[in-house]
Every structure is written in structure tokens, then in C-alpha cells.
Amino acid sequence: MKRDPRTILNTLSNCLKLRCPVCGRASIVERPFNLKHICSACGVIFKREEGFFVGAIMANVVATEVFILLVYFACVLFTNLSDGAMLTILFVIGVSFPLAFYHHAWALWLGMDHLIEGLSRTPSRP
């Protein structure tokens, strides 16, 4: 199925703002490190089946690895940091980045799923 570029950009924008990828009106976050099961505005189901979260975890791991590599290469090319200082920086990033990126990884995973398959709604909503 071919998607309109505006639809893709709108979905991506909603995901980066941690909003529902379908309607963009409601937040996907219930509380820190806990996502809503259903969109409170349009009724789209965010957590559909067991194992659905694995894709979001994979997105978070890949983004963390890419970010660590970028910081590593920037440190090697543009600084004269000692190995110990560089490892300390990379360790702190390796621990803190996945925590900071957690909700965005989920949002991007939901957005990709919406663009590829479409997210289903609860039966009681239109």
C-alpha cells in the first residue's frame, strides 16, 4: 500500500511528540515507563498482543547502539580524551539513552505499525 508523504510526515510528527500515531490528539504515555493500552481520543489499541513490545525494545537497542557509535567516532575524531574518560562517557550514554528514548521508541514502533498494517480500534469506538 502506497502512502501519501504528508501522511508519513504527520505520523512521524505525532510519534516524536509522543501522541497517538493515528489521530495525534492524545498522548500515548500513561505515566513514566508505562504506556496506555488504548488511545483515549480515537480508541486505537496500542498494546495488541503478547510480544508486540519486542519491536519497540529492538528499536531502542538499535538507536542506542547508533548513538553510542556516533559519540565514539566524534570523540575519536574531535577530542583527545583518554580511553578511561571516553569509556566513562560511553557507559553513561549506554545507560541513560535507552531510558530517555524509551517512550519515543514505543511511539516510533507504533507509528511504523500504523503505516504498515494500520492499528485496530476497540469495538466500542467508531
Q: Which amino acid is at 83?
A: D
| CA 43 to chain CA mean position, Å | 20
Task: Return the pLDDT at 124.
Answer: 54
Task: Return the pLDDT at 118.
Answer: 79
Residue in 69, 52, 66 with CA at minimum distance from that of residue 101: 66
Q: Which residues contact 34 (CB under 8 A, 6 or more apart)?
A: none
What residues in the chain have per-residue pLDDT under 50? 125-126
Boundaries of every domain in the chain: 5-116
Are residues 12 and 84 in contact, defined by beta-carbon separation less than 8 angstroms?
A: no
Task: Return the pLDDT at 114.
Answer: 86
Task: Return the pLDDT at 123.
Answer: 59
Are residues 63 and 105 in contact, defined by beta-carbon separation less than 8 angstroms?
A: yes
* 83-94 pLDDT tens trace: 999 999 999 999
What is the helix (H) or strand (E) element at residue 100, kind and residue range?
helix 83-116
Task: Return the pLDDT at 116.
Answer: 86
N residues, the chain:
126
Task: Return the pLDDT at 48.
Answer: 75
* 103-115 pLDDT tens trace: 999 999 999 888 8
Task: Return the pLDDT at 37.
Answer: 87
